[in-house]
Structures are given as C-alpha cells and as structure tokens.
Copies of this chain bind each other. A is one copy, B any other.
Amino acid sequence: MQIKEVVAFGHRHFLPNLSIDLVIIGYGDDALQCLLLKVGDKWLLPGGYVKREESVEEATVNILRTRTGLEDTYLKFLAVFGGKDRQFSEVSREFMQKLGMEWSEDYWMNNRFVSLTYYSLVNKEKTHPKISFVDEAFAWFDFDDLPEMWMDHRDIVLTAREQLTRDAQREYSAHNLLPEVFTMPDLHRLHQAIVGSKVDRSRFQKTMLATGLFERLPRVQKTTPGRNPYQYRLKK
C-alpha cells in the first residue's frame, strides 16, 4: 500500500484527529493483566479510529472485535486524553521504516490525536488478539510490570487500573474475567487482585450472595483435600 493511498484512505474513512484506545484487561495467576501490542522497541495500546458512518460506541465495539475476536464484552469509558502534543510522529516513523516505507510529515496518522479511552474486561482464554500490519507482536503484561510504552499510554493504563479498583469497590466488576462457571474462592481471589488488598472471606461471600446476581450450581467434584465448593454463574 502506498503512503498516498493510506493518507487518502484515512481521511476519507475516518474522523481525523480522533482515536480510540482500549485498555483490555484480563486475569491470570491471581493478577490483572493488560494486552499490549509491540511496535518497534516499545509497546502500544490496541486502538483504532472512528469511521465516518459509525458512532463512537460502534467504533469502540468494532475495534475490540477486530482486535480480539470478542463479541459481547464489558466496555467502560475511561477518560479523554487531549494534550496538545499528543502525536504519533515517533511511532509512525518507527513502523514506516520497518515496513520500508518512506516517512512523511503529512502522513495522516502523523497528526495530533485526541484519544477517547475505554477499558474492557475480557476472558483471556476467549481472547484471540490479531496482529495488524502495524504491530509485530502482542503480549499480556502484569500491571505492575509494564514495559516501555509509546507516548502517554502508560498513563492511560495506570488510570484504568485505578478506575477499575475504584469501580470494584462499589459495584460488581468481574465481568468476563472468570470463566462462565466459577467458585466463590475464585471470585474472592479475583476481587482481591482487583482491589489490591485482602478482603474478609466470610463477609465477601455474604455480600456477593446478597446481591442476588449469582445462581448457585452443584458443588464441584475435587480430588484435592477439603470441602467441595459450590459453583456459581452470573444470572442473566
């Protein structure tokens, strides 16, 4: 694809100067993790642009789907990042060079962008990230072990982490982070990973069940020692 075509394509199909960035959050090994894409020697949040004929919400859902294959996910608005110096010059030069293409000042992506950021809670097992021609790899990173990232994407990730913690303290925020069927100890561990502190086990179970959000299923049959826990499912 020639640069001029890309430029023209960008301007014709997308709202200029506006980008969507997603903090895609998964859960594994008792820790929250975040999906990042590698461009050059640094990492980037998955994201995209708003097509002229779609709403911002549709764009967000579409980006998430094309990036991860996920349909029915939990998406929540995070913040506007609108600093006057938010532009992709470095990133764009980096991967243009990698592709052997000539970097040009007026490449449409090499502009100032206002970024609308969202966070999404996903089931890692069901997530199948797709590499575009821009990025060379993807990986899940623990929130407290993030790599070097382009621009202010590290700030965005950390903002999402804080927001999720706050959200989890006043509402149920574990959507998609566990398999469809889970036990109360599972949920308890996840919740502790989200809020980042110990939570009383007995009270947690009480308050969770009191919400009425959960449907109790038969006990799991374990071989490990100890009483067999009930399984639960989110009521729809």
Contacts and interface: CB of A to CB of B under 8 A. Distances in A.
Interface of A: 15-18, 50, 52-59, 77, 79-80, 82-84, 112, 114, 116
- When all copies of this chain in the complex are counted, the total is 2
A84 B54 contact: yes
Contact of A17 (B16, B54, B55, B80): B16
A89 B112 CA distance: 27
A5 to B, nearest CB: 21
A16 B16 CA distance: 7
12 contacts: A15-B16, A15-B18, A16-B17, A17-B17, A18-B18, A50-B82, A53-B84, A54-B84, A56-B80, A56-B83, A57-B82, A82-B116
A45 to B, nearest CB: 17
Contacts of A79: 77
Which among A18, A53, A82 has the highest number of chain B CB atoms within 10 Å? A82
Nearest to A86: B55
Nearest to A52: B112
Nearest to A56: B82
A221 B30 CA distance: 62
A128 to B, nearest CB: 27
